Amino acid sequence: MGDIYSAKTYGARPIGFGRRLGLVVVDFQRGFIDSRFRMGGSPLVGRAVENTARLLQVARARGVPVASCYVAYPNGRGAPHWKVAAVTEDLIEGSEAAQLDPRTGDPSYDYVFPKPGASAFFATPLASFLTTKGVDTVAVAGCVTSGCVRATVVDSFQYGFRTMLIDDCCGDQEPQPHQDTLRDVGRRYADIVTADEIIRYMMANR
């Protein structure tokens, strides 16, 4: 199926690493992970959390900048027109659903911030944070692949960063939209990589 796209030069150029890597972890918060919340309970997300925890251990030991965001609103104010009822009803600033999963979020190391939209870059200080850290290459982990992860990858690309989506560090509610996302963004905006590839890179550099 990719033949028509390849013939039209989609995916013709890999991106590759630049000079300084940064990691962006999208929405690994209880409301998307724990099964007692309406949007939680996906085993694919659970697997991604565990792979990301492994990745972040190396990142923090090596001094790689990490930004961790979550979705939360003060009483639903400031939210765009979401069609997902649970997002504005359940993800209240200060509530348990807004808390980062302790396996991946570490407020003593990470730059932690809330985000109002889908992309971790939209209406947040993320681009400025990465610039102050000298980052030119962004690898993205998190959930949900076909929603906030994808939007984050597109913005990272648009802001001029070399961008990677870490396949096994991203999870969706079902496998198909995850795969469709890799197909679409891998053709245009980002390299598709694995946790082990990023870990090997971090071990070998700086």
Question: Which residue number, 11 or 102, has a Cβ lying nearer to a copy of itself?
Answer: 11
Max CA pair span of the chain: 50
Whose tokens are 């359940």? That residue is 90
Q: Which amino acid is at 94?
A: G
* CA–CA separation, 136 and 93 (whole Å): 31
Question: Which residue number, 18 or 102, has a Cβ lying nearer to a copy of itself?
Answer: 18
Write down the least CB distance from residue 204 to a copy of itself, Å: 20
Write down the least CB distance from residue 23 to a copy of itself, Å: 15
Write down the least CB distance from residue 64 to a copy of itself, Å: 15
Question: Which residue number, 151 or 198, has a Cβ lying nearer to a copy of itself?
Answer: 151
Question: Which residue number, 9 or 204, has a Cβ lying nearer to a copy of itself?
Answer: 9
Where would I find the beta strands (DSSP E) of the chain?
21-26, 66-71, 111-115, 137-143, 162-171, 191-193
User: Virtual CA dihedral for 157, 162, 165, 166, nearest 10 degrees?
Assistant: -160
Whose tokens are 């990465």? That residue is 130
Cis peptide bond upstream of 144, omega within 30: yes
Write down the least CB distance from residue 169 to a copy of itself, Å: 20
- Asked if 170 is an active-site residue, the reply is no
Residue 192 CB: number of other CB atoms within 10 A?
15
* CA–CA separation, 41 and 6 (whole Å): 36
> Which residue numbers are catalytic?
148
